Amino acid sequence: MKKVTVSSLLKMKADNEKIAALTAYDASFAKLFDEQNVDVLLIGDSLGMVLKGEDSTLGVSIDEIAYHTKCVANGVSRAFVVADMPFMSYASAQQAYSQAAVLMRAGASMVKLEGGDWLLDTISGLVQRSVPVCGHLGLTPQSVNVLGGFKVQGRSDEQANRLLADAKALEQAGVQMLVLECVPSSLAKRISETLSIPVIGIGAGVDTDGQILVMHDMLGISANYMPKFSKNYLSETGDIRGAVASYIAEVKAGLFPSSEHGFN
User: Residues 52-74: pLDDT tens digits?
Assistant: 999 899 999 999 999 999 999 99
Cβ-in-10-Å burial (0-12, 13-18, 19+) of 252 comes to: middle
What pLDDT score was predicted for residue 241? 97
Mean pLDDT of the chain: 95
Active-site residues, by number, are: 181
User: CB–CB of 72/47 below 8 Å?
Assistant: no
Share of the chain above pLDDT 90, in %: 89
What pLDDT score was predicted for residue 149? 66
What pLDDT score was predicted for residue 116? 96
pLDDT in tens, 10-55: 999 999 999 999 999 999 999 999 999 999 999 999 999 999 999 8
Mean pLDDT of 228-236: 92
User: CB–CB of 57/46 below 8 Å?
Assistant: yes
CB-based contacts of 173: which residues, under 8 Å, 6+ apart?
A: 119, 120, 121, 123, 124, 127
pLDDT in tens, 70-112: 999 999 999 999 999 999 999 999 999 999 999 999 999 999 9
Q: What structural domains and CATH numbers belong to the chain?
A: 6-261 (3.20.20.60)
**pLDDT confidence of 165, banded at 50, 70, 90?**
very high
Residue 145 has pLDDT above 90, yes or no: no
pTM: predicted TM-score of the whole model, two decimal places: 0.96
What pLDDT score was predicted for residue 228? 86
**pLDDT confidence of 7, banded at 50, 70, 90?**
very high
Binding site per annotation, positions: 45-46, 84, 112, 114
> Measuring CA to CA, which residue among 1, 37, 46, 45 is closest to residue 19?
37
pLDDT in tens, 246-259: 999 999 999 999 98
Residue 222 has pLDDT above 90, yes or no: no
What pLDDT score was predicted for residue 155? 92
Binding site per annotation, positions for 3-methyl-2-oxobutanoate: 45-46, 84, 112
